[in-house]
Amino acid sequence: MKNAHDIILRPVLTEKGYDGIEEKRYVFEVAINANKTEIKQALESVFEGIKVEKVNTMRPIGKMKRQGIHQGRTAEVKKAYVKLTEDSKPIAFFEGMA
């Protein structure tokens, strides 16, 4: 079994992420090989008292970067957009940020 902290890497703190906090929508960067069920179980085990309603994931391609004649891509990341249920309590980490 995978460790929950290996699945959830970090929160994504952007303007779009801040807009969703009031509606109990949060954005996390997760492991690339994690599926939606594992993400849901990991979040519910790390943050006590929350109930995840829905998980949407996206995996954008890394951007092309160049330095002189050398070029390559930045690392790919996987983001999880998490919606909590109405009766769930909010995640305490994001409380002062909204």
92: confidence class by pLDDT, cuts 50, 70, 90: confident
pLDDT in the model for residue 1 = 54
Give pLDDT tens digits for 13-57.
999 989 999 999 999 999 999 999 999 999 999 998 899 999 999
Nearest Cα residue to 60 out of 25, 6, 12, 21: 12
Task: Tell me if the pTM is above 0.95.
Answer: no
Instruction: List phi, psi (to 5°) of 11.
Output: -75, 150
Compute the distance between CA of residue 10 and CA of residue 79 in angstroms, rounded to an integer.
Answer: 10
- The letter for the amino acid at 51 is K
Nearest-5° angle of CA 19, CA 6, CA 73? 70
Structural domains of the chain, with CATH: 4-86 (3.30.70.330)
